[in-house]
Structures are given as C-alpha cells and as structure tokens.
C-alpha cells in the first residue's frame, strides 16, 4: 500500500479547500437584482458598475433592433443610465428592474423618432402607450436571462453552447472539438453536462420559458 506523506496530505487538503472556496465565491458572486438595487441606493459604487455591466448588452441591443445607428444607440445608452441613476429610487418592485429598463430604453429609442416626454418625467405606474408589447418585453427578459446564465456558466461550457447554438455558422463538430480540446465523441456528453448546469443557473435566475 502506498504511503502518503503528511506534506502531501496537507497539499491535497489545501487544494480541496481552495477549490471549495472558489466554487463558493462563484456561487455567491451573482447578486440578485433586488439586492443590487438596494446596494446602488445605499451608494455602493461597485454595485452601480455591476448594474451597468449586467444590463449594458440589453440596453444597447434595443435601439439597434429598431435600426438606430451606433451613434444613436450610444445616445440612448447614455440617456437610459442617466435616468436610472436619477430614478432608481422610484422603482417600486426591484424584481421588475429588467422590465423597467426595457420600458425606459424603448421610450428613449422612440424619442429619437418622435416627440415624447422624457422617460425621467414619466411615472412608473402611469399608462404608457409607447411601451413595447408585453410579449416583446417578456421575450427580451428571457434573452437577457439566457445571456446572464451563459456569463455565469464558465468558459468551457459557455464556449461549447455558444458554438453549437448561438454562432451564425452551422456547427462543425470537428472544428468545435479541436478548438475546445475535446474528442468529437465527447461533445455529446459534455453538452449534456453543460445543459444541466445552464438549466440550474436559469432556474436560480427565475427564468420562465412559458412566460
């Protein structure tokens, strides 16, 4: 029987402790919107940076979907987050942050095409004929959650899922396997594991495919 030196045991224990600590940090790194909003309102600059980073893709994508030029989309982006900075405290339900941001972004996008009141002059509860349809808001919310989940998934799985389902080109298993350092036959089992992880993250984020 092989004898393991105490120094080796210590090294193994330290390695396991570090791995557990990293995993715990990864699990707790993501802050729910309600927590993030409260920390922003408390003046946490790191929380503000995280909020902008988390929603930058979503906010920028909406004016681009409506055909606005990049410079106009930049203006919308700046206006939206200026409004968020001023009006975040008026948000009555922190869990509706995504929907609120979509509505504000939609209003600012429409403002470039016709005269509308500024979004920071509108009450959140007031009827809004210029808000996007509910099904469109829900679709954008789902897309946003998928992107957040992919960000949390980690590089190996994120790259595989992106290559298989999100890239514009038809998936080429040989090229994907070579790029990710996998055997072609290993893509299927790896994909299944990655999907289980992705599903767990989406559930934790509150994703509802049927909404």
Q: Which run of H or of E encompasses 209?
A: none
Residue length of the chain? 211
- What confidence category does residue 113 fall into, taking pLDDT thresholds of 50, 70 and 90? low
User: Which residues have CB under 8 Å from 45's CB, separation 6+?
Assistant: none
Half-sphere exposure of 205 (CA within 13 A, CB side): 24
**Cα separation, 62 vs 77, whole angstroms:** 10
Q: Which residue shows structure tokens 């948000």?
A: 91
**Between the CA of residue 121 and those of 28, 37, 135, what are the distances in Å?**
36, 20, 25
- What confidence category does residue 116 fall into, taking pLDDT thresholds of 50, 70 and 90? very low
Domain coordinates in residue numbering, the chain: 29-131, 133-211
**Cα separation, 66 vs 50, whole angstroms:** 26
To the question of domain 133-211 being in CATH 1.10.8.60, the answer is no
pLDDT one-digit tens code per residue, 59-99: 999 999 988 999 999 999 999 999 999 999 999 898 889 99
Which CATH topology does 29-131 take? Rna Polymerase Sigma Factor; Chain: A (1.10.1740)
b/e sequence 18-31, b meaning 16+ C-beta within 10 Å: eeeeeeeeeeeebb
Percent of the chain with pLDDT over 90: 45
Residue 165: the pLDDT is: 87
Q: Which of 105, 102, 98 lies closest to 78, judged by CA?
A: 105
Q: Which of 39, 75, 71, 64 lies closest to 54, judged by CA?
A: 39
pTM score of the predicted model: 0.64
Residue 133 has pLDDT above 50, yes or no: yes
Characterise 49 by phi-psi region: left (phi > 0), alpha (psi -120 to 50), beta (else): alpha
Task: Give me the mean pLDDT over the 187-203 stretch.
Answer: 92
Q: Which residue shows structure tokens 């968020």?
A: 84
Residue 114: the pLDDT is: 62
C-beta atoms surrounding 184 within 10 Å: 11
Residue 23: the pLDDT is: 38
pLDDT one-digit tens code per residue, 16-55: 444 334 333 344 456 889 999 999 999 999 999 999 999 9
């Amino acid at each position: 029987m092989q004898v393991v030196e105490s120094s080796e045991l210590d090294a193994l224990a330290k390695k396991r402790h570090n791995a557990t600590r990293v995993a715990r940090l990864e699990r707790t790194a993501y802050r729910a919107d309600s927590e993030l909003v409260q920390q922003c309102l408390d003046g946490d600059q790191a929380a503000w940076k995280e909020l902008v980073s988390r929603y930058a893709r979503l906010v920028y994508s909406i004016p681009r979907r409506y055909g606005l030029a990049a410079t106009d989309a930049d203006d919308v982006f700046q206006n939206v987050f200026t409004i968020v900075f001023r009006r975040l405290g008026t948000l009555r339900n922190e869990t509706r942050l995504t929907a609120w941001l979509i509505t504000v972004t939609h209003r600012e996008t429409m403002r470039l095409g016709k005269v509308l009141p500024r979004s920071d002059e509108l009450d959140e509860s007031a009827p809004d004929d210029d808000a996007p349809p509910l099904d469109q808001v829900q679709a954008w919310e789902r897309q946003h959650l998928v992107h957040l989940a992919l960000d949390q998934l980690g590089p190996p799985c994120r790259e595989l899922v992106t290559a298989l389902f999100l890239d514009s080109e038809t998936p080429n298993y040989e090229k994907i396997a070579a790029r990710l350092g996998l055997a072609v036959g290993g893509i299927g089992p790896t994909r299944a594991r990655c999907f289980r992880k992705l599903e767990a993250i989406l559930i934790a984020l509150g994703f509802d495919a049927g909404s």
